[in-house]
Every structure is written in C-alpha cells, then in structure tokens.
C-alpha cells in the first residue's frame, strides 16, 4: 500500500468522533508524579509486557513508556486476509531484544520542551505533534540528537522504531487487522470496530485529538492505528522473502516508512499491516512519531 507518498488525500465524510470516556486528557501526559521518581535513561528491562514507566526527557517533564518484550511474529498480512495489499507479503521476524515504546505519540508539549518550537497545524499541548519531517526528528541537530545528549547510565538511547518493532508492538500478539483482536469490517466508511481504537476519516472531525482517548492494545499502547501516521527508522523497501532477525530496513532509499494510518485517511490504511512511505524532508499535518528507548535504538 503506497498511496500517501508525498501527498495527503482530503478527509472524506468526517463525523463527530465518539470518544471512549477516559477523560479529556491522558492522566499521565507528562507531569511528574510526587513520590514516583522518573526512570533514568539507563533503565533496566521491564518485568512483563506492557509494564509502564516514566522516563525524564527534560527537567520536570516525563514521557510514559511501555515495555515491549523480545519475541517472534509473522509480519505483514496473509493473502486471504480481508483487505490484504501486495506490499504486505508476510515473513517471519525475530526481535532479540525488548524495548520501551511511548504509550502515546509524542505530544506537542513534549516536542516543544526539547526543540523550543512547534508548528503543528492542530494546536494543543496533549495532541500529537505533526508537521515535522523525518529529518527534524532523526537528522543532524534534530529532536533525537538533542534528547540523547542528556546524561544516561545504561548505554541505551531514544530513537525511532524500526518498521518491525512498530508492527510487533502494534499487534501485541494479535494477527487480526486491528490490534484489539477484531477485524476491519469496511475499507471505506464507518467501521465500529475501528472506532474503538482509532481516529480516522469517518470519526475524526477532520482533525487530531488529545492522545489516549481511544482504548489501548494489550501492551498499553494508545493511538497506534489512526490519529497520525508515525515515522519509522527504515527506508521503504519490499519485505524480505526469508525470515529475518532484528531487521533494520534498507541502507538507503528515497522514502522513509510511515505506519498506522491517520485522521484523514479511510479505514483501509489503519490496519496493523498497512504500510506507506513519505520523503524524509517533507512534512504533513497527518504525520507524527513515537519514541522507543533501547540498547539498539537508531
């Protein structure tokens, strides 16, 4: 599935967007909790899938992350699965190390405290940051370089997830098109199952929303499907034909991988297996990102 490239389609038949009643803002959107010191950059491994910890990204500012255990999974979608696309031919992937992943997409307030600027189209401290390029995040002098200059004690780093890490974390042990164990019922228009976990063109009201207002997957991650596309580390390329261990993607290319679908695209693009690409020097109000922290972060 490669439609997005360097342009975004107009949102179609946007609705009011029903909320899962968990509050206007996520309860752990960054304020430091008294009596619970944030974890240092050298945090050890989690004890169980979905364990949550706060990582301090700036003085007094925490980022909530969930533990994603090592494991093996079938990446992509089976040919007989509804809405399968030609670039999703499945292959076996083994991830040998666990990693911490942001419970939510990076929020505008978090981006601004690190970079000092915010040009997001849909303004709101708890909304996902958008209008940022891959280069703004991972290029020289970018967000990650600034973040990783802070003292650390265990050799780990913040980074962008690889495409394999992203899909593995999104699925959380499922092989269904949606990460809460249900299937997509419609490629276009309203899908009640997708409404439970995602903002997309039929329920978003043609905008982003504060993070964490839809139900999470089994490992505690919110907004992995829909809301904003998320940049991955990899250059876009066809999947391997043989099993892979800790795949990092191509060594070069013209487009970086984006995953998850967004508020302005139809349900088809929000499947767990759905993938697309975007030029790393271009930005969009439909693309944000999510952090990982690990010994292997890139």
Q: Residues 6 or more apart from 230 whose CB is under 8 A from it?
A: 105, 161, 166, 224, 258, 259, 260, 287, 288, 289, 290
**pLDDT tens digits, 246-281:** 999 999 999 999 999 999 999 999 999 999 999 999
Tell me the mean pLDDT in the region 200-213.
98
**pLDDT tens digits, 55-74:** 999 998 999 999 999 999 99
Distance set, CA 1 to CA 60, 61, 259, 269, 270 (Å): 41, 37, 11, 8, 11
Closest to 81 in 3D by CA, of 222, 196, 183, 195: 183
- Work out whether strand 71-75 and strand 275-278 pair parallel, antiparallel, or are unpaired: unpaired
Which pLDDT score is estimated for 144?
A: 96
In order of start, what are the domains of the chain with their CATH numbers?
Answer: 52-294 (3.90.1580.10)
Closest to 291 in 3D by CA, of 231, 235, 240: 231
Confidence of residue 149 (pLDDT cuts 50, 70, 90): confident
**β-bridge partners, 91:** 75
Return d(Cα 276, Cα 255) in angstroms, integer. Answer: 9
Q: Residues 6 or more apart from 21 whose CB is under 8 A from it?
A: none
Which pLDDT score is estimated for 1?
A: 54
Confidence of residue 20 (pLDDT cuts 50, 70, 90): very low
What's the number of CA atoms in the CB half-sphere (13 Å) around residue 239? 26
């Amino acid at each position: 599935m490669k439609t997005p490239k360097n342009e975004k389609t107009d949102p179609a038949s946007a609705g009011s967007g029903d909320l899962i009643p968990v509050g206007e803002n996520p309860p752990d959107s960054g304020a430091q909790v008294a009596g619970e010191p944030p974890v240092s950059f050298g945090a050890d491994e989690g004890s169980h899938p979905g364990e949550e910890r706060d990582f301090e990204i700036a003085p007094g500012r925490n980022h909530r992350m969930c533990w994603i255990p090592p494991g093996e999974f079938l990446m992509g979608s089976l040919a007989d699965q509804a809405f399968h696309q030609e670039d999703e031919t499945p292959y076996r992937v083994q991830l040998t190390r666990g990693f911490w992943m942001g419970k939510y997409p990076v929020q505008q307030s978090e981006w601004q405290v690190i970079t000092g600027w915010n040009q997001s189209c849909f303004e709101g401290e708890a909304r996902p940051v958008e209008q940022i390029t891959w280069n703004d995040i991972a290029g020289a002098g970018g967000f990650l370089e600034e973040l990783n200059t802070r003292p650390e004690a265990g050799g780990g780093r913040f980074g962008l997830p690889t495409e394999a890490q992203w899909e593995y974390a999104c699925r959380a042990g499922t092989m269904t098109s949606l990460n809460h164990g249900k299937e997509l019922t419609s490629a276009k228009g309203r899908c009640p199952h997708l409404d439970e976990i995602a903002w997309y063109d039929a329920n978003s009201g043609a905008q982003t929303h504060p993070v964490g207002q839809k139900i999470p997957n089994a490992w505690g991650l919110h907004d992995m499907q829909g809301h904003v596309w998320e940049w991955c580390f990899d250059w876009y390329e066809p999947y391997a034909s043989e099993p892979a261990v800790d795949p990092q993607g191509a060594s070069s290319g013209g487009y970086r991988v984006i995953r998850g679908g967004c508020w302005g695209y139809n349900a088809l693009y929000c499947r767990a297996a759905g993938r697309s690409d975007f030029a790393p020097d271009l930005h969009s109000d439909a693309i944000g990102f999510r952090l990982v922290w690990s010994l292997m972060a890139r």
